[in-house]
Structure 1
Amino acid sequence: MEAYRANALFDAHRDDPEFGLRLLTDEARDNGEAMSDRTAWRIASANGWFSAFGKPKRSKARRPGPAVHDDLCAVIDEHGRTRHVFATDAPNQLWLTDITEHRTAWIPTVVATR
């Protein structure tokens, strides 16, 4: 039963890719495959059938992009691998957290040292 409904929706989508979900559902109903709007949405969403004029929403499971700040702790070792060194030659050279993000009454003065 589900396969017949999916085929009817796909045929309607292939004929008119600019149609939205409601028009696709109406066209599938006209072709003899009765279904609710929710069922049509579930089938179309699972198969990635969206209107040519709309955009599907991004998934929450996407991997995050690169960090927006420079990675000052990263060094490349003799084997070409990226390592992190949390040590500096002088105080106030390497901050492990961004102190501008949080309101505080004091300024941390301890940083990573060798």
Structure 2
Amino acid sequence: MRKPEVGYLLPTRDDVAVGRYDLRALIEQARRAEFLGFDSVWAGDSPVARPRADPLLLLSAIAAVTDRITLGTAVLLPALHSRQSKRCRRCSLEPSRRPPTGSTPTSRLVLATW
């Protein structure tokens, strides 16, 4: 029998809804989830619960600072994302964080699109 896997859904709407666009707290929550032994971290998207931190931007930043945890979109609505997204420009990432020199293994990323 396979062991159950436990994931953590990041609260991507809470800070953004009150005008705080700094994603460092969410990134730290994902790092803590990995440290505590969670199997996955998820970031959601929603057409009705706006504003919300961009899930792809957030998961990209998390991939740069984690090693083994699976990353996924709880929901991803491609029609809501564009290169001109003001949310992407307004959210800030810690400048000292850079992606590792190698690429992130694709087995760590799960996209759930609707």
The TM-score with structure 2 as length reference comes to 0.29
Higher strand share: 2
Higher relative contact order (CA 8 A, sep 6+): 2
Q: Which of structures 1 and 2 has the bigger CA Rg?
A: 1
The TM-score with structure 1 as length reference comes to 0.29
